[in-house]
Homo-oligomer: A and B are copies of this chain.
């Protein structure tokens, strides 16, 4: 009897999890490896950072999601190296052999060489960073309430979001709502609605990957929420007193005690491991250049999917978004099964379902094929799409009810300042989730 084909997936994010689910009936022995014991629904992470949802509501234990797959094992470990010749991944605790390897190790924040900015301006990639940002935002209002010096009070009430992509826009919108609605009657010395929220974007408009008309609509919605948008503006320095921004008109210093980073990502360091051990080529952002079937050139048994993969279709690089990762995961799962039956598969095709970004209560922008939407209709679409995806992870009812409460009352239930010392500014979390995110 032939031994069962062993498939190893590195990472339980959207790419890895969808590959695993698509292999549930395959005649393979499947192992999903991650540093974390849960799958994170990253598109809603900004809602944890802004106190609308609790971490448990957007995270699902990997074991629970995959428990019914008899051919699947979940392992909590970190992949530290690769022996491509002997088809082995080296873990922090032992080795793991594979016949086919799917690398879905994702990406981390990129500070473009300024890693010291991370201490002051956390990104939004993990649960820990989300609760750190929540701590920073809520603590800033508390500190302002206690502060007698109007200058320092103003610094506490100034928030700078670096990066005008979907995360920056969604955070800015939520912050605007927190200041204007959620906290409105909560304080006695300060007026939270006097908070100043900056959104700094290097490109010419927010949501640069969206159609221009939707960028304009998003910017208008943000302005209604009191957000000051600065485009064509580059951050040249970040320190605990604030941010220095360079525009064509010169340099500007924004005094602010809260800075959040969402300006860029870089590929997981496991890309470099693939370069050294399997001869893979990397692009400038550290992504692995893959064949049209997502495999690593020279290694048909190694696939790279999701944010870590560099794949161009019709001359355009596929973006680092959940739907690309999910579709690649499903594609590679199909390919593996066909290959076991000695069948061939056409190269990967991407079906772009569109783009959605939410700006606030009943305000969003959406592009679905040729259709551009904004306002309430886009917001309802956003709601529906996200609930649909959450369905699979059993949290949908709770999230829906939280949103219902929030919509009706403006109250954010998860406004907790947690951490070892709630009375000081939060220390940045140690860099978690290095590889198998």
Contacts and interface: CB of A to CB of B under 8 A. Distances in A.
Interface in A60-81: 60-61, 63-64, 67-68, 73-78
A177 to B, nearest CB: 15
Interface of A: 35-38, 51, 53-57, 59-61, 63-64, 67-68, 73-78, 92-94, 127-128, 138, 142, 145-146, 183, 185-188, 394-395, 397-398, 401-402, 405, 409, 411, 413-423, 429-430, 432-433
A187 B62 CA distance: 11
Contacts of A418: 55, 127-128
B432 A422 contact: yes
Nearest to A397: B401
Nearest to A148: B94
Given A55-B418, A76-B146, A398-B402, 19 more contacts: A36-B422, A37-B422, A38-B415, A54-B57, A54-B414, A56-B413, A60-B413, A64-B411, A73-B188, A75-B145, A76-B422, A77-B146, A77-B423, A93-B146, A127-B418, A394-B411, A398-B398, A398-B413, A422-B432
Nearest to A135: B37
Contact of A415 (B64, B73, B187): B64
A430 B420 contact: yes
A53 B145 CA distance: 31
B416 A61 contact: yes
B64 A186 contact: yes
Nearest to A430: B420
B78 A423 contact: yes
Given A415-B37, A417-B37, A420-B432, A142 B76 contact: yes
A195 to B, nearest CB: 15
20 contacts: A35-B422, A36-B422, A38-B417, A54-B57, A54-B414, A60-B413, A63-B186, A63-B187, A76-B142, A76-B146, A77-B146, A94-B146, A127-B416, A128-B418, A128-B419, A394-B411, A395-B413, A420-B429, A420-B432, A422-B433
A190 to B, nearest CB: 12
A394 B401 contact: no
Most central of A61, A187, A398 by chain B CB within 10 Å: A61
A68 B186 CA distance: 8
A35 B413 contact: no
A75 B128 CA distance: 26
A256 to B, nearest CB: 20
A92 B322 CA distance: 46
A9 to B, nearest CB: 15
Contact of A416 (B55, B142, B185, B401): B55
Contacts of A183: 63
Contacts of A67: 185-186
Contacts of A185: 67-68
Contacts of A432: 420-422
Nearest to A405: B394
B59 A416 contact: yes
Nearest to A63: B186
A63 B67 CA distance: 41
A251 to B, nearest CB: 34
Nearest to A92: B423
Given A92-B423, A411-B64, A422-B35, A416 B146 contact: no
A188 B55 CA distance: 27
A76 B57 CA distance: 27
Contacts of A128: 418-420
